[in-house]
Amino acid sequence: MFKRFKKSPTLFFIFLLFILGGLISTLPAKAKPAYAFPEFTQTSAQEWLNSKPLTKKDLLGKVTLVDFWTFDCWNCYRSFPWLHTVEKQYKPKGFQIIGIHSPEFEHEKIHANIKAKIKQFKITNAVMVDNDMGFWKRMKNRYWPSYFIVDKKGNVRANFIGETHQGDAQAIKIESLIAKLLAE
């Protein structure tokens, strides 16, 4: 086997990357330290739906799930039933969801389209329209859907990425963290 590597250094390099990748993936992930949630951007590209314009101060004293979504993202709207369940379960205990609609395509910037989708998906929580992706950039986000969990003091404690459903591994982790932060 090693004779092949003498003839092909590229093959050896690929083999080495494969082995190192396997070793690295078995290391325990380090938890990111909490960091301060930034102030919401307030530009002409932003509008708030289902709510007055919110500030960072409006998060204090509550545990908040900040949901980055866009209406053409099927991973986003397939997660809404789970989000509705989580909101219903934890809202009486001091939990809230804030949606950040960050469009991928031009037609997703049209406010009438966003409002129609909010109605279609039965979204009742506050939604910031982030048409210039200003808040997306401020949060250093890169994915739809993406969930940032903010504690009662206004610190981001975790970030989760991807479609989530009731009872799946990610939902269990998120809900567990929400319950823990509500108890703090």
Region 68-91: mean pLDDT is 98
What percentage of the chain exceeds 90 in pLDDT? Answer: 78
Predicted local distance difference test score (pLDDT) of residue 103: 97
CATH numbers and ranges of domains, the chain: 1-30 (no CATH), 31-183 (3.40.30.10)
DSSP string, 132-181: T-HHHHHTT---SSEEEEE-TTSEEEEEEES---TTSHHHHHHHHHHHHH
pTM summary value: 0.82
Mind listing the pLDDT tens digit for each residue in 147-172?
Answer: 999 999 999 999 999 999 999 999 99
What count of other Cβ atoms lies within 10 Å of the Cβ of residue 33?
Answer: 8
CB 178 within 8 A of CB 95: yes
Radius of gyration from C-alpha coordinates of the chain: 20
Continuous H helices in 40-154: 74-77, 80-90, 111-120, 134-138
Least confident interval from 10-19, 50-59, 89-98, 169-178:
10-19
